[in-house]
Copies of this chain bind each other. A is one copy, B any other.
Amino acid sequence: MFIAMNQFTVIPERAADFETLWRTRESHLQGLKGFVQFSLLRGDEPGDYLSHTIWESREDFIAWTASDAFRQAHAARTPDGILAGHPRARFYEAVIVESGSRSPA
């Protein structure tokens, strides 16, 4: 399991606009090899957001970044006045995974 996170610092007054941008975009993720789950996460700290994508492997993530689906999903940049700084990407490999009886939803 591989997780790619991108941390966004959003101007708190523009949080609703930021969420709308994500709700209305096409992710182009369905059907991609190794795609497990995408989520947009809102942190308890105002303006703290993570895009959080789970892949079966790092190789699946890398293949996605080289794909047309990636280019299509990233064609539209965030309008000015919403972000307080540059997003910060971080990448993680799972060392231990323990699942409960239910799937994430």
Contacts and interface: CB of A to CB of B under 8 A. Distances in A.
Interface residues of A, number: 42
B19 A92 contact: no
- DSSP majority for the A interface? strand
Contact of A56 (B3, B56, B97, B102): B102
Contacts of A22: 95-96
B44 A104 contact: no
Given A36-B103, A103-B36, A44 B98 contact: no
A50 interface: yes
Interface string A35-74: 1111111111100111010101000000000000000000
Contacts of A40: 94-96
Interface of A: 1, 3, 19, 22-23, 27, 29-32, 35-45, 48-50, 52, 54, 56, 90-100, 102-105
